Amino acid sequence: MFWEDKWCAGGTLKDKFNRLYALESCKHVTVGTKFSQPLLSSSFRRTPRGGIEMDQFVKMVDDVKEVILSTSEDRWVWDLENTGEFSVSSIRNLIDEKTLPLTDYKTRWNKLVPIKVNILSWKIMTNSLPTRFNISCRAICEDGGVILFYAGGSIPVVEVGFL
């Protein structure tokens, strides 16, 4: 959408040029349709008047005059792979990098043992068993309340029950 999508530098055009957006009679126009019109102001209810409207119109024209639309089909590109195609292993590696602690071993699952044994061994290796110390590191009180930490101290926020 011409006005609502972030396709131009600096955010959406409806936020950058709010006076012009108010003048627009077709607020859900696409970029291609807007560019195919003879003037960018063709679909306005009236022509921009002097002052802030004209200033915003001149700035908008300057912002979009460098844009060249491609005639190719839209497509999705996956940045985690060199091929540009999605793979489960690439997202698993990203999640592992962001969430798991840095270790010298890879996460391996043994298909010959039950899944709960795999999970238990993984929790032991990553030191994420729900011990009293690990729970205190996650800001959960011994009595079941959650603690919110802030610069001035800490306060109990909500009670949580454990089964």
pLDDT value, residue 62? 87
Query: Per the structure, how many domains does the chain have?
Result: 1
Q: Tens of pLDDT along 107-153?
A: 677 788 888 888 888 888 777 787 777 777 766 555 555 554 444 44
User: Do the domain assignments include residue 60?
Assistant: yes
User: Do the domain assignments include residue 113?
Assistant: no
- Lowest-pLDDT range, 22-31, 35-44, 114-123, 144-153? 144-153
User: Do the domain assignments include residue 117?
Assistant: no
User: Do the domain assignments include residue 40?
Assistant: yes
- Mark 34-49 as b/e (b = at least 16 C-beta within 10 Å): beeeeebbebbeeebe
pTM of structure: 0.44
Report the candidate in 71, 51, 57 with the shortest Cα–Cα distance to residue 18. 57
Higher pLDDT, 53 or 134: 53
User: Do the domain assignments include residue 27?
Assistant: yes
User: Do the domain assignments include residue 30?
Assistant: yes
Q: Tens of pLDDT along 93-105?
A: 888 777 766 666 6
User: Do the domain assignments include residue 41?
Assistant: yes
User: Do the domain assignments include residue 22?
Assistant: yes
